[in-house]
Amino acid sequence: MQKKGRIMKIQFLVLSLLLSTAILAYENTYKLSVALVGMSMDYREYNDGGVILDSEKSSFSGIVGSEFIFDYTRVYENNNYAKVGIETLFLGGNTEYVGSYIGSNLGYGSLVSTTQNSIFDISGHYMYTHAFKNGLDFGYGLALGYRSWERRLSSIQTEVYYWYSIRPRVELAYNFLDFSIGGLAEYQYAIDPKMSATGFSSDFNLGSANIAKLRIPLRYTLNNKTEFFVEYVYEQQIIEKSNVQDGFLEPDSTANNQYAKIGAVFKF
């Protein structure tokens, strides 16, 4: 029932954003961005003394997937522009788990195994950008999103972290010839973050689950209909420990993740 409720909320968010896009669409200026994505994960859990309990690591080829961004851009007379759109990210793959069996007291490194991961992220954004005559663009806006991360540690142990978030963002870009390079900084503040785990009747309430992200894209405009791009993303995630259930809790954790993207933008 909880999973069905989350799916219904996501569908409502998508429908609301599509309606907003339709309301703003005085002109037919749309873009569809499609990218292949590789993710390098460095996730670690700690006890109250800051000692590492376990970790998950992967190379860029260990976790792969795709990203789709659909947005509408309206340009004003002064060349400033507003943009509204939807972003979706799907990733899956394996990480190397280093830790220990629960309750074994053998310490970090006594167990090495493989974890299967699935990551889903969806958000709707609004950005307003000032276009300056020297080729600089400066934008700011807000996104609302939902994120879930499933860790299948074994055939009998699965954990799913999930939350909604408010995501303020700022962007700076420099345009020269047919190229554009820039950076987009975003902070994701989680709302009511939770984690479900096999064997527990109710979800754990996480203390917090916030993400700071920096995206650095390089774009090349082929013509007025097509762009190509590569993008590097650095992401730092901090989760605070949860409440206690039946003597267990989800500990503090950090993740320093990197993404490499290559893709194309189609305008219509």
Q: Total domain count for the chain? A: 1
pLDDT digits (tens, 9 = 90+) for 259-268: 999 999 999 8
The set of residues, in sequence order, having a beta carbon less than 8 Å from that of 168 and lying 6+ positions away, is 140, 141, 142, 143, 186, 187
What pLDDT score does 159 carry? 97
Q: What range defines the domain where residue 196 resides?
A: 2-267
What is the three-class DSSP state of 197?
A: strand
pLDDT digits (tens, 9 = 90+) for 181-197: 999 999 999 999 999 99
Using the predicted structure, report yes or no on whether residue 26 has a pLDDT greater than 90. no
d(CA 28, CA 128): 18
More confident call, 13 vs 188: 188
On whether the pTM is more than 0.85, the answer is yes
CATH of the domain at 198: 2.40.128.100
**pLDDT band, residue 12 (cuts 50/70/90):** low
What pLDDT score does 81 carry? 93
